[in-house]
Structure 1
Amino acid sequence: MIDGILATVIFVRDLPKCTAFYKDVFKLPYAGSDANSSSFKLQDRYLILLSLAGAADLLGADPNEFKIDGTPRVVLAAGVKDVNATYDALKAEGVTFLRPPTDQSWGLRTAHFTDPEGNLWEINQEIAAKG
């Protein structure tokens, strides 16, 4: 039924601020923007930031229907070559981490942070599973 996920769309209040974070701090490959969205191309997938006005237009809804309170509702997990190096690079850019690099029993080394609007991110790399 579903062949794959082609894009992840994040609704944001402050599109310019979030675009700058993903482009300049997180250094995602910028694919372009318009008045209501910014896109980043990650291999064969897209990460799209969509303003509340853009979300309302997309869904045929009133922008006031979208309540974004900064509470994470999803974790975006991104594989990286070296969690420690990525952690250090992001910290140097001013990113505040909720959890530093940690080896997990299921075979990943992870670290967690939020973007400027509270969307939760994980960076991870495979390690040998414990146990």
Structure 2
Amino acid sequence: MTNLSDEPAITRLYARLVVSDGPRAIEFYRAALGAEEIERYTDPGGRIVHAMLRLGDAVIAVKDADDADPAPPSLGGSPVIMALDVSDADAVAEAMLRGGATVVYPVADQHYGQRGGRLADPFGHLWMISQTIEELTPREIQERTTDLFTR
């Protein structure tokens, strides 16, 4: 029997919603659901690359669509990316691969202080797996995000 304490622990799960107009979507979720914006990171043109919203005891993320992540209308459906925070991104990715998942973006150290990647499960659902490897302030994340987009 496997000791569960030796397994990678899931530390958080939230939906990441891809939308055609991030600011308008955030306003909609605020008005319709009482959402509170917790954080927002943008590219140099002001497009949202990540915004976190609290809805009661739950959180969701919102981002503007781009070439890598289209909004639902362009696909005829919802391209929701499930973001899963874990204690060991490599181990969870490997377990998903053993179960038939495929790599979209390999697990690697990311500019925003996470080690993670993106996988598609055997049913077509997208999962962003990540673990914290560096504690950064919102300002540091925004500076790194800006640097990444202006290289």
TM over 0.5: no
- What TM-score, normalized by structure 2, do the two folds share? 0.38
- What TM-score, normalized by structure 1, do the two folds share? 0.44
